[in-house]
Each structure stands twice: as C-alpha cells, then as structure tokens.
Structure 1
Amino acid sequence: MSIDKICQKEPWKNLAVLGNKLPGVVISVPPESLLEYWREHFDFAGTQLELMDGSTYLDDLNQSISTNNVITLFPFDHLQPEKHAVNPDTHYRLLSKATLAELGVLCPNYQTYNLKQVRLDQIPLPSQFPYLIKTSHGLSGEGTYIIRSSNDLNYCLEELNKYLKINLLETIVVSEFVKQVIQNYCVQFYVNKQGETLLIGVTQQLVSAEGNYLGGIIDYANSMSKFFEMIAAVENYAYRQGYFGVIGFDVLETKDGELYAIDANFRINGSTPLCLQRHELLKFNKTIAKYSSDYRMEGTLDSIRSTLKPQLERKEFLILSALERVKYGKIYTEIYGIVAGETLKEMQQIEQTLQHQGLHLTD
C-alpha cells in the first residue's frame, strides 16, 4: 500500500470528521486549502490536529506525560503496550480474520492454517472453484484472494510466497465462497467501555471483481433492525475481550435472506466518515449518499473548489481528503469524497453532472 495513502489521504479523511474533543496525530500536515474547506463545511476548528515527526512520533508518544492512551487503527510494535487504549495483543487478535467464527454469528465455513506448522503446498485446498484464501490480516481487500480458476490460485500462491520470504505471513484462512449474494453490507457501531452500543450506520459496499474495496452507498432513512441480533452478538464478544471503539463487520445477504458475516474490523472503517455525515446531510434533505476514495479531477484543490462551488455549498459533494499530484506536467487532485442527493436517482444525476465538470472515478 502506498505511503501517501497511509500517511496522508487515509488519516486526513478521518481527521476531517474527528470533531474537536480529541487530538488526532498526523505526520503530514494537510494542505491549507483542504483545512480551509474543512473549516467551512465540517465545523473543523483545527484544535484536534497534532503534527508529529514521522520518524520519531511513536517515541514521542511513549515519552509523553500528557498522553496516557492512544486510540489506534492497528497495534504498533514500537508503541508501549500501556500507551495503547486497547491492549495491543488483544487488538491484533481481534483484527485477525481467523477470529470470525468466535463472534457468535453466521459465517462461511473456513479452515485456518499456521504456516509455521504446515507448508503452503501441503494445505488441502477445496477441489472445486470458487473459494477464498485470506491472509490473517488485511485492509481494503488486500490479502483476500477470490479463487475462481487455476490462474487465480497460481497468482495467489505467488503472492503468499512473497509474504513468506519477508516474514510477513504466518496464518492463512481458506474459506467457502458464499453464493447467490444480493447485497454486500458494512454494519457499523460503537461500543464503549461499559459495553453500551451506539449505532453508526450500515452501507452497501462497492467492491471490484477482485474483491477490492471501492466505497459505499448509504440510505440514511433505512433501519438497521435486520442486523440487531448480529450487532448484539459482536458487541457482547468485543466487550468480553476488553475492546472499546468502532466496529464494522461485513455482511453478505443471499437470495434466501440469510446474512453471513465475512469479516470484522475492530477499528474505524473506510466508510465510517460517510455514516457520520447522517445528521448534517439530512439537514439538507440528502438521504442517499455515496463515498469513494477514487475520485480524481484535473487542477489544484483551489481550482476544483472554485469549479464545484455550487455543489459544495449545496452539500451535493463533500471533500474528505485531497492530494495534489503532477503527471506529465499537468496538475490533478486525488479526492476522497461523498456525493449526496434526496433520492438514488438524484444522487446519480448529481454524480453525472460532476463527471461532466471533470470529476471522475479512476479505473
């Protein structure tokens, strides 16, 4: 995964909606034009931005007297265990795809293999396609391989061997492939230290044919009631493990109405900022919204803000994160954004209008 995604675009997206109660650590300061946009549209005061040196920030947090606990997306080896808000060993285990069967919800049948105990070429793979092979930890589809053919399997094994050579892989999961799927959801909620739950939202996930995450669509008027039993089970499990924070678990709905949990992310999820815009967008009668991390438009962020000013002011388009690039002497900007409308049809029409103005999804 590219360093700009990890250190700039992803953290900036979360910083935009963090609020003004807790400081967010960044090792690359967002451009002034983006900060200015946030101040106008996200009630961003800037008090929650704490810039630290990328080469020493974990040491600085370890030595900080004022910082007792750090809420992390993933545990950091170099951050002292007592500085983690959630025990890092617990957090790492919860983030493993091998824990899915422990959640108490319906999930696909799968087998877990420790590659220190069994060689990759000795693992008994299913005799029929399709099926899935997953590394124990991954992000946005990385580390998940849909095996539909011998070519897919050969590519997967080549990738896994690369991970093995650099000691980045210990456990893999071989899972059945859920068929006759009609919807792919991400169900999100927050559980506090007392085990109390706050619902955040549910999105319909957009994924590529390879299973890579592309974004999500949300209907703010939809109830989450069909997921209440699953939420209760996952929340109860998380609380027993000593976890608190955001949880998003991915659910496939089949033609027969069965709900299969296929992944659980004990962290802020890609579409969490989309869910958190519920109250603000409903003020503008925007019920349907779509989030994507793959928007691109020619020009600087300042010029884009000028071109799209009407849509930005009407909350038809929201910019969560933006990074300017130069290619062949031309400037363009990569954008994490939200398109919103009163209905699905209007949202799609707005997206088409934005495309005519030069905002496109990258391939």
Structure 2
Amino acid sequence: MDTRSIQIKSVLTLKEIYGPGHIFNPRTSFQQLGWFPEDHASIDFMTGRELVVAGDMPVLCSQAVTTDVVINLLKEAGLEPASERYVYSTAGEYREILRNLSKGNEKVVLQFPHPAGELNEKSYSIQPELLAYLNNKASIDQLVPEENRPFRSVITRLSEIPHPLPIVIKVATGQPASGGVGVVICRTEEDLRYACQLFKDAESVVVEEFLPIVRNYCVQFVVTAKGKILYIGSSEQIVDERGRYMGNWIDHREVPEEVILTGRKIIERAKVLGYVGVAGFDIVITQEGDCYVLDLNFRLNGSSAALLLRDRIEEVYGAKRMCLHFFWNIQCDFDRLIRVVRQKMEEGRLIPLSIYDPNASPYRDAPGYLSGLLLGDSRKDVDHLNEQLIQEGISVY
C-alpha cells in the first residue's frame, strides 16, 4: 500500500478539546514517580502517544520520541504529529521548561499533579487538588452510582484486610498512578503478604471483591472547554493475570448500553466539579451480567489516541479489527525496527502511534519502545501478525 497519499486525522484534536492558550504535558514529574513503573525511559516514551492527536496544541515531550526518523515515519503513516513541541532530554531540561512556562500566561494541561513548586499553580488548567481527588481510587464511592460499585472498603491498616481470598487491593492516593502498578490481585496468602509489603507506607488502601469478569472496557468521554460532554468510544482492555494493562481491542463490537450510561453519569458529576478534558473509566461486565466500575482515570488513557483516530483508519484501510499494543519492547536494533514497521505499514497491517529511540535519550541501555495499531480481518488474523512481529524481535512489554 502506498501510504504517501493517506491522511489520518483525529475526529477531535486536543486543541479542540482544551481550547487555545493551552500546552499539553503528558509526563509525570521526575521528582515524584508515585505509583508508576520506576523506569524513566518508559515514562518518556509515553510522552509521544498523543502527539498525533494534538492538532495545533503544543506538546511537552521527550527528545527520544521526536527524532527526525520517528516524526518522518509517523508522517509516512499519514499521521499529523504536533508541529509545536517543547522538547527535553534530561530531568534538568524538563524542570527548566516548567519554570519558563510558569512565567507565561498559557495554561498547562497536566495529566498528573506535580510536587509543589515545580509548576506555578496559576499555570494549571485543572487545579491539582481536583485532579488528585478525581483520580484517587477512594473517590469512586462519591463519583460512581452505588449499584455500579463492587463491594469495597477503604481501610487505613492492612491488618484489617478481610478474608477470604481472592480479593483485590488498590492503593488509595492522589499521587500519579498508571498501568496497574498500584493494584494487587490477591489469590493466595503469598499475594496478600506481597500487597502488605508493597502498601505498608500507604495512608489508605481500597479492598475490593474479586469479580468474575467477562468483558473489560475503557469507556471514554470528553468535557470540552465549552462545557460539552462527548462520548468518544470504548475499547476492550487486554489485562494480564496480575491486572497489568497490556493493550486494547479497538473495533465495533457492541458495547452494552448500561456501560456507556454508567460512564456518562460519572463524567456528568466530574463536569459539575469543574473538570475539563478526556476521561476513561474501567467498567466491566461480570458472568452474572452485572456492570461495575473498577477505576477512574481523569486524563488521556492508553487507547484515547486510537479511539480518536479509529473512524478515519477504518475508512482508509477497511480494517474490521484493530488491536492497540501500548508497549512493544524492542529486542532488535533500532534501524531494524524502523524497517520492520515501514514494511508492515506498506502492507496495510500496522500503524505506528509512538516510537522511542533510546539512542536519542540519556538512557542508552534502555530498549526501544513502540506503540501502534495492528490491523486485520479478525482477531485471529491480528494475533497471527503479532506473532510475526515477535519473531522480528518486537515483543509485547
């Protein structure tokens, strides 16, 4: 397939969501990782995932996701990376950018609150206290309808954890969290001991019943700067046995109406509190057919960019099934990665969304990373393509 004439535009850009006078910053602070993977290279990689849906909105991002090779490959795929970028390489450069932004009149759209002093509070588009409250897993009790909450309790002493197993334990915090790092599924006493050690310094944790899940959705909405609520779609989440997020199926399998309605009730409550932006809610269907909310993410989610691009991709490629792999861990050399990606692009099977080049970073020993969409006629077809990539040295993280 000749990709040179293809244009894949977002149905709604970040500029259209947040309005003029805003800068998008997807990174957590270097100073405080919170409940994140303790890996600055992978966190820097995540600063590239929304470049292709930003529109005219400036984006703060790592040098390693914006090299000429990376940007040119995204353009070859028909995507439009943000042309205005605040680029850093080191922690010092990142903090200097924040200091300079604090002196201006533009608002910074932070996905994760930063420690006091790193960014002038007048520069926050959403005040950090509201961000921390909305993203705290304990706040589900106030934001989610009672009938859509699993049995759960917020406790301050881990010795109070009820039995029997299995149960799910989640840290209750306003600190940044992502990827299931602050969540432990306890099936055995050994799992429980691990959770007690992991959360021993946490002020409180949520103890939640373990549910027999048959469908797991990330249901996403937008509150625009003009106060309009928009449903941008749902993706079916791929989660491993430990509860770690691995990617999403992006297709048009019917999403239960109750799932979307529940998400709408949550975003309406958040709008009243003053929230503006993208939000994704982890909503599941159990074997009994019940609908429960497991997590609230008031920020762009792993599959947000894919959902915003989905309609145009389906129109151009005629893809019946798409799978977002958020983290491919690159075991081959970077030049080979680019060749493989370009080949699969020409075959109409892969659309890269973000690429991390460790050679352009301070972390030269880190692997390369790739996020992208696999396209196929069926889920089996997509799985086969993923197996081919694994053989090429590109494996799911």
2:337 to 297, 304, 309: 304
2:112 to 61, 71, 74: 74
Question: Structure 1 residues 356 and 133, CA, compared in 2 at 3 Å: closer, same or farther?
Answer: closer
Residue 152, structure 1, aligned to residue 152, structure 2: no
The count of aligned residue pairs is 343
1:53-202, aligned counterparts within 5 Å? 53-65=93-105, 67=106, 69-76=107-114, 77=116, 78-105=118-145, 106-113=148-155, 115=156, 120-121=157-158, 123-137=159-173, 138-161=177-200, 164=201, 169-178=202-211, 180-202=212-234
1:351 to 386, 391, 395: 386
Say whether the 8 Å CA contact 1:204–1:218 is kept in structure 2. Answer: yes
Stretches of structure 1 lacking an aligned partner (at least 5 in a row)? none
Stretches of structure 2 lacking an aligned partner (at least 5 in a row)? 1-36
Partner of 1:337: 372
Say whether the 8 Å CA contact 1:300–1:331 is kept in structure 2. Answer: no
Question: Structure 1 residues 293 and 232, CA, compared in 2 at 3 Å: closer, same or farther?
Answer: closer
Question: Structure 1 residues 270 and 260, CA, compared in 2 at 3 Å: closer, same or farther?
Answer: same
User: Could you tell me how far apart the structure 2 residues matched to 1:32 and 1:299 are?
Assistant: 20
Name which structure has the greater RCO, CA cutoff 8 Å, separation 6+: 2
3-state SS in 1 of match to 2:220: strand
CA offset at residue 298 of structure 1? 4.3
TM-score, normalization: structure 1? 0.86
Partner of 2:40: 3
Say whether the 8 Å CA contact 1:190–1:197 is kept in structure 2. Answer: yes
Opposite residue 112 of structure 2, the aligned amino acid is F
3-state SS in 2 of match to 1:276: helix
- Aligned CA RMSD, in angstroms, stands at 2.4
CA offset at residue 90 of structure 1? 0.9
User: Could you tell me how far apart the structure 2 residues matched to 1:315 and 1:50 are?
Assistant: 32
Question: Structure 1 residues 288 and 112, CA, compared in 2 at 3 Å: closer, same or farther?
Answer: same
User: Could you tell me how far apart the structure 2 residues matched to 1:19 and 1:58 are?
Assistant: 19
3-state SS in 2 of match to 1:211: coil
Question: Structure 1 residues 19 and 217, CA, compared in 2 at 3 Å: closer, same or farther?
Answer: same
CA offset at residue 243 of structure 1? 0.2
3-state SS in 1 of match to 2:195: helix
User: Could you tell me how far apart the structure 2 residues matched to 1:131 and 1:282 are?
Assistant: 40
Q: Percent identity?
A: 23
1:96-118 Cα deviation digits (max 9, x unpaired) = 001112223301121123x4xxx
Say whether the 8 Å CA contact 2:64–2:356 is kept in structure 1. Answer: no
1:110-139 Cα deviation digits (max 9, x unpaired) = 1123x4xxxx35x42212101121112431
**1 or 2, which has the higher strand percentage?**
1
User: Could you tell me how far apart the structure 1 residues matched to 2:243 and 2:215 are?
Assistant: 14
